[in-house]
Amino acid sequence: MYLFFLSNAQVEASSLLHPDSYMRPLTQEGLDNTRRAAKRIHELLGGFELIVTSSLPRSRITGEIVAAACGYEHEPQVSNTLDGRTQAEGIVRRLIDQLEHETVLLIGDAPVLERLIAFLITQDEKTQVRVYEGAIACVELKDALARQGILHWLVPGATLWTPSQ
């Protein structure tokens, strides 16, 4: 199975209007970049058997944009396990039933995806993976709990947003 991880693009800064990190929406630039990235993802990868987003509004919007661009015929599933309050092992255990699909796209904030990718590819608790805004990564898994996944690639968001030449 191949797990793809897509982090949210640019979000609004904390302000009186959006003091809670949970509710901060994508900026207009973030929305535009997400649309461009979704088109590139479709061109490069085709589609996914399953799309799962965190329950953060920005992740759900990202999921809807990517689903539409990739011709995904269902509503993306929403999982609060990707919201940042659950440890990586807990996320894997809760999502394990959904991991029967060959290609799964998980969408959320970068810190959650960083911890999850690191958990899946190594047993070393100190390993860190850096995921920037709008980045996408691909991890191949034989057994999600074995922690022997293979990180095939990690592409910065800016690479997806930049029009191909």
Q: How many whole angstroms separate alpha carbon 83 and alpha carbon 88?
A: 11
Residue 153 pLDDT: 97
H-helix segments, the chain: 28-45, 57-69, 88-95, 110-121, 157-161
List the one residue out of 3, 1, 4, 36 whose CA is nearest residue 136. Answer: 4
Per-residue pLDDT tens for 17-54?
666 677 788 999 999 999 999 999 999 999 999 999 99
Q: How many whole angstroms separate alpha carbon 84 and alpha carbon 157?
A: 21
Tokens 């199975």 locate to 1
Residue 96 pLDDT: 76
- What are the per-10-residue average pLDDT scores of the chain (165 residues)? 94 72 86 96 95 95 97 95 88 78 94 93 87 95 85 94 74
Identify the bridge partners of residue 52 per DSSP, sorted by sequence position. Answer: 77, 106
Q: For the chain, what percent of residues have pLDDT higher than 90?
A: 65
Fold of the CATH domain 2-11+23-161: Rossmann fold (3.40.50)
Residue 19 pLDDT: 62
Q: What is the 3-state secondary structure (H, E, C) of 4-37?
A: EEEECCCECCCCCCCCCHHHCCECHHHHHHHHHH
The pLDDT mean for the chain works out to 90
Q: What is the DSSP letter of 144?
A: G
Q: For the chain, give every domain's residue range.
A: 2-11+23-161
Token readout for 129 is 């993976």
